[in-house]
Structure 1
Amino acid sequence: MNNINKYTTTIILAGLLTMAGTGCKKFLELTPLDNRVEQNFYKTEKDANEALNSVYDALQWHTNAGGGGFSPDPMMADIASDDSYAGGGSRSDSPEMIQIDQQKLLTNNSLIRVYWANHYTGIYRANLLLQKLPGITMSDAAKAKITAECKFLRAFFYFDLAKWYGNIPLILAPQAPSEYCTAQATPAETFNQIAKDLVEAIPVLDKSDLRTSKAHATRWSAEGLLGRIYLFYKGVYKAELQAGSVAVNGAYVLTQLKDLIANSGHDLLTNYADNFTKANEFSKESVWEISYSNDNPWFDWNYIQGGEGNMQPQMQGPRIDGDPSYNTGWSFAPVAQELYDAYEANDPRRAATIINMETDLKGKVTTGYQHTGFFSKKYTTTNEYRTTAGQYELNWGNNYRSIRYSDVLLMAAELDLANGGGSAQGYLNKVRGRVSLPNKTVSLAAIYQERRAELALEGIRYWDLLRQGLPAAAQAITISGKRGPGYNGDQVDYNVTFNQATKGLFPIPQSERDQCPVLKPNF
């Protein structure tokens, strides 16, 4: 399901190259073949909504026109954590994904360049629309709502960048060519701006669910995102946030989460596994969701971001032939034995999260690199998402549930516990009760363990480890000499050493540093 209408709008943003001879003047005087250029765009409310859709569009991208591999954020984070390995067909399938798995990233890794470029494209689009809005003919209320959505999206893009890269350029307006090279801001400056964007957006965004909003960010999306951002910043940088004149501390964020819990109408689905079915996209449990679809069947491997498909299911699907439930994938991000063993014996979330090759697959499985016998079940190549039009690998419509209500309950439990409230136990009990597990005495350790089981393979575990501190992350991620019974291949392929000197970050892409010498290494 994709409720954000997409439009193709060509906006000419760059000057023409100088041409020699008398033909130059004639060429420059020609009427543009495309009559929708920046000079006559950004005039009407329809233009503004098309431009807003272009900002949302960048959320979907896992590659870009500059080339490079596929970089779905949740999958990369799972591979960086102790929950998944790199996988793929062979050791040579994606050496750059193996660098993420092995914590040995090089500055010329194309995945980190693609990720950087895609997120700054989204930020540029948000900044440009924010700059143009005052001159667009539309109501003040409509302008305020689009402004709030742009700020939410800009905060989302910057949070992704700040998590992975630490010190990044903080750009809040479209730049002239002379301004393209921008020095890095401190993490405090970046995170405070992220918090400011969200604090300003929250009171303006719609108080609705995602189906009613047609996949646009809501007040509840922003409150949930603020909780995630605060907990990460507080854990990693041991400091509070300042959103302009608003002190964003634990008590403030807890108030936002309690507002979401009490007033949003969001709740847990009765059956945990239903969260990841097509019928339950934008369900009452989904607080923020990134939309994908096969509504625009796509064939072009050279311009993948022109379609609306999600590459993560294709990448994570098992290499299976003849199975009645699953289509063949590329077997990236095979699940580690450690995650399988982390579940309580009677926890139904394990079967809803992990495909066990021995019990769940009926077809012939071709083993790939770092084969463990386990695959992600949440975002995979299930038949209900298989398209009959377009290149099927490019058109998986599995939406990504970025923030679920269960995550909100566990974030609230963590903040309530830290701020001396009396609700933490109830929040934890509610999450466990949904899957018929007995109550467990609330503690920070119990909350972290519940987060691992509840949110596994949703791209969250890595950040939960980092906010517990680098020694804790190293203890969890570093593995030597351990293997599960389904592992196939040399032991060296399963050994990982977390390098605390990198602080868990991606390096600044070398291509960016070559173009902008003021960018400094971030570790």
Structure 2
Amino acid sequence: MRNINMAMLLFLPVMLVYGCKKMILVESPKNQLTTDKVFADSTSASAAILGVYTNFESQFEPNYSTYLSLYTDETGYVGNDVANNEYYNSSLTSANRVNQNTWSVLYGIVYQCNDIIAQLKSNAVLSRSLNTQLTGEAKFLRAFAYFYLVNLYGEVPLLLETNVLVTSKASRQTEALLYNQMIKDLLAAKEGLRSSYMGAGKVRANKLVASALLSRIYLYQKSWALAEKEADAIIESNLYTPLEVPANVFKASSKETILQLWNQNGFISNSSSIPSAGNIPQYKITTDLYNAFEVGDLRKSSWIGAANVVTGGVSKSYNYGTKYKNKTANTSSPEYLVVLRIAEQFLIRAEAHAMLGNIKGAVDDINVIRKRAGLSPLSDFLNIQECLSSIAKERRVELFTENGHRFFDLKRSGQLNTIMGNYKPGWQNGMSSLLPVPQDEITYNRNLIQNPGY
């Protein structure tokens, strides 16, 4: 990973240009390293795009996944932090600091990508191949940021430039328009990105990385044939199979990883919440999630730990997530944050198969996941509703605490209010399916409208 380390060292001055500022109101940097120097050679230009990945890893994730798991029925919370409890009770206020950070970081990433795309468009110094690759990465990352923005907040401003006179007054756009832009960006990214990964590891986007996000977006848009096509291309490439045993899925060397976010120390910051012996986990796996696993499921034994805590002479067991094992720095067997992996693609293709009437194909894909988990295969004679229920169950136990999948899956299937309304007393059917637009953003931009109920 020496090449990435060097790039990150070079990225430090670039942070002066692309440091996060409050969005949507973002001014051009003053008295700092100018963008013409940032893009004056291949090393500094590559460092600029690496900075966007870094912002995803260090500022957006993994905290985002932690809070979205709290927001649904995946984890509980032990503590008295106000912002955490608002997520746990699914009762966010528009002043919630974590929610403000989520919005600001995502729009900060959009700003970075817009600036990189604009600078590369007029750049005559870099080689055409590198310019095309970096532009493709920026468009992929912009689409990735908008995917989260739309699914968290619904209609949001669509920003494709860095002019503060425009961004400070931007109004919300329809989800259809936003998804169209994501798809446009990803199709362009597929055209420009290389087929192979750049550098060591799977830490930068290539063509199949763009396809992986495209397949997810097509699935959410109910474009079943297109979702099937993208997932099929990834699976049939044979680059990410066979699936790893559960204990190896989240290692940096995992074969099934499509995209992971590199970090210098080989452990993700969220792993610090793994409890020490005798302590209650801060984030507990809920009983509902724990009971969703079948007997003998290897994912349950590998990805969920148990803490036995003695209080007043009485021992009680608490479950917590252990998908990532490293709690401290580990460069000999590092773990990087996984954001796209092949198991999701099998489940995307299974759902697309089912919706297109190919029940056998769907069951075959489900059984690839079940085989890895040490479970018996499903019958080929499922009807479509049984098949979709099986896919939903597999998505729950395969993708738990990852990237907000549970929240998004319940929303797109129309089950969110029913399931969460029964699970959480404070759940509000008219508002809880979207997070509030941070109050600061509405204060700075009068064209922004708050989500209903907040």
Q: Same fold (TM over 0.5)?
A: yes
**1:203 matches 2:153:** no
8 Å CA contact 1:320–1:365 kept in 2: the answer is no
**In the alignment, which residue of structure 2 is the partner of 1:374?**
319
How do 1:69-468 and structure 2 match up within 5 A?
Answer: 72-85=63-76, 87-88=77-78, 90=79, 92=80, 94-136=81-123, 137-177=125-165, 179-208=167-196, 212=200, 215-234=203-222, 249-276=223-250, 280-294=251-265, 310-314=268-272, 316-320=273-277, 331-358=281-308, 373-379=318-324, 382=325, 384-387=326-329, 398-421=335-358, 422-441=360-379, 443-459=387-403, 460-468=405-413
Alpha-carbon spacing, 1:413–1:183, altered in 2? closer, same or farther (3 Å) = same
**In the alignment, which residue of structure 2 is the partner of 1:519?**
448
> How many percent of aligned residue pairs carry the same amino acid?
24
Equivalent-residue separation in structure 2 for 1:233 and 1:388 (angstroms): 40
Which amino acid in structure 1 is aligned with residue 261 of structure 2?
I
DSSP-derived class of the 1:120 partner? helix
Superposed CA offset, 1:71-90 (max 9, x none): 712112211121112x14x3
- Find the partner of 1:8 among 9, 12, 18: 12
**1:504 matches 2:433:** yes
Superposed CA offset, 1:184-215 (max 9, x none): 11111111111111111123322235875651
DSSP-derived class of the 1:158 partner? helix
Alpha-carbon spacing, 1:374–1:292, altered in 2? closer, same or farther (3 Å) = same
**In the alignment, which residue of structure 1 is the partner of 2:25?**
none
**In the alignment, which residue of structure 2 is the partner of 1:475?**
418
DSSP-derived class of the 1:288 partner? strand
8 Å CA contact 2:153–2:437 kept in 1: the answer is yes
**1:46 matches 2:17:** no
8 Å CA contact 1:320–1:366 kept in 2: the answer is no
DSSP-derived class of the 2:340 partner? strand
Of 181-190 and 196-205, more deviation after overlay is shown by: 196-205
Count of residue pairs brought into register by the alignment = 424
8 Å CA contact 2:281–2:319 kept in 1: the answer is no
DSSP-derived class of the 1:60 partner? helix
Quote the offset at 1:289 in angstroms.
Answer: 1.4
Superposed CA offset, 1:368-400 (max 9, x none): xxx971111113xx4x441399xxxxxx97422
Superposed CA offset, 1:18-74 (max 9, x none): xxxxxxxxxxxxxx986x3235432222232121112222112337xxxxxx97121
Equivalent-residue separation in structure 1 for 2:2 and 2:396 (angstroms): 29
Superposed CA offset, 1:293-323 (max 9, x none): 328xxxxxxxxxxxxx743222x322546xx
Equivalent-residue separation in structure 2 for 1:438 and 1:214 (angstroms): 32
Equivalent-residue separation in structure 1 for 2:89 and 2:54 (angstroms): 31
Alpha-carbon spacing, 1:3–1:123, altered in 2? closer, same or farther (3 Å) = farther
Equivalent-residue separation in structure 2 for 1:473 and 1:184 (angstroms): 24
DSSP-derived class of the 1:386 partner? coil
Alpha-carbon spacing, 1:467–1:268, altered in 2? closer, same or farther (3 Å) = farther
Quote the offset at 1:13 in angstroms.
Answer: 8.6
Alpha-carbon spacing, 1:12–1:281, altered in 2? closer, same or farther (3 Å) = closer
Which amino acid in structure 1 is aligned with residue 370 of structure 2?
R
DSSP-derived class of the 2:248 partner? helix
Which amino acid in structure 2 is aligned with residue 9 of structure 1?
P
Equivalent-residue separation in structure 2 for 1:95 and 1:55 (angstroms): 29
Superposed CA offset, 1:191-243 (max 9, x none): 11111111111233222358756511122211111122222344xxxxxxxxx
Which amino acid in structure 1 is aligned with residue 86 of structure 2?
Q
Larger radius of gyration: 1
**In the alignment, which residue of structure 2 is the partner of 1:241?**
none
Alpha-carbon spacing, 1:451–1:210, altered in 2? closer, same or farther (3 Å) = farther
Quote the offset at 1:355 in angstroms.
Answer: 1.0
Equivalent-residue separation in structure 2 for 1:373 and 1:265 (angstroms): 38
Superposed CA offset, 1:115-153 (max 9, x none): 111111111111101001133212212111111111110
Which amino acid in structure 2 is aligned with residue 312 of structure 1?
N
Equivalent-residue separation in structure 2 for 1:366 and 1:458 (angstroms): 31
Equivalent-residue separation in structure 2 for 1:209 and 1:420 (angstroms): 35
**Bigger share in helix:** 2
Structure 2: gaps spanning 5 or more residues: 20-29
Structure 1: gaps spanning 5 or more residues: 15-31, 64-69, 235-248, 296-308, 322-327, 359-363, 390-395, 481-494
**In the alignment, which residue of structure 2 is the partner of 1:300?**
none
Equivalent-residue separation in structure 2 for 1:413 and 1:39 (angstroms): 47
Alpha-carbon spacing, 1:337–1:227, altered in 2? closer, same or farther (3 Å) = same
Superposed CA offset, 1:401-427 (max 9, x none): 112211110110100111123521211
Equivalent-residue separation in structure 2 for 1:139 and 1:445 (angstroms): 50
Equivalent-residue separation in structure 1 for 2:151 and 2:317 (angstroms): 28
* RMSD between superposed Cα atoms in Å: 2.9
Alpha-carbon spacing, 1:78–1:372, altered in 2? closer, same or farther (3 Å) = farther
8 Å CA contact 1:207–1:264 kept in 2: the answer is no
DSSP-derived class of the 1:334 partner? strand
